[in-house]
């Protein structure tokens, strides 16, 4: 079994200067990632208005499939016009990891 996780650090538009406005951007992003059959959530920077850290995790029987799913998530995030993708952090854990 292989488990992969990815964190996206995103810059939100200027009008996200309240938590309510921030949620209006983050909630659809998280929902769109779930279409790739991953677990997704806002995982950091909850106290910052103009930034968000969104995470996604996938589990599969082989490493290539996990990499494919994470690549699709990254391409999806990079293509979202309403946010700027600042950085991406990725890890994959396999059976040999403890």
Residue 89 CA: distances (Å) to CA of 8, 10, 17, 96:
7, 12, 25, 21
| CATH classification at residue 56 | 3.30.70.1120
The answer to whether residue 87 is domain-embedded is yes
The answer to whether residue 98 is domain-embedded is no
Strand partners, 2: 60
pLDDT in tens, the chain (98 residues): 999 999 999 999 887 778 888 888 999 999 999 999 999 999 987 888 889 999 999 999 999 999 999 999 999 999 999 899 999 999 999 888 76
**What is this structure's pTM?**
0.87
Domain that residue 74 falls in: 2-93
Sign of CA dihedral 27, 29, 31, 33: negative
- Structurally, the chain folds into a number of domains equal to 1
The whole-number pLDDT of residue 98 equals 60
DSSP string covering 44-77 = E-TT-SSEEEEEEEEEESSHHHHHHHHHHHHHHH
Residue 37's contacts (CB-CB under 8 Å, 6 or more residues apart) are 58, 69
């Amino acid at each position: 079994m292989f488990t992969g996780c990815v964190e996206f650090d995103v810059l939100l538009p200027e009008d996200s200067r309240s938590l309510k406005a921030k949620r209006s951007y983050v909630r659809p992003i998280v929902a769109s990632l779930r279409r790739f059959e991953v677990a997704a959530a806002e995982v950091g920077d909850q106290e910052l208005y103009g930034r968000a850290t969104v995470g996604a995790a996938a589990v599969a029987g082989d490493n290539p499939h996990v990499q494919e799913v994470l690549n699709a998530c990254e391409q999806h995030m990079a293509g979202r016009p309403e946010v700027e993708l600042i950085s991406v952090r990725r890890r994959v854990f396999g059976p040999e990891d403890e």
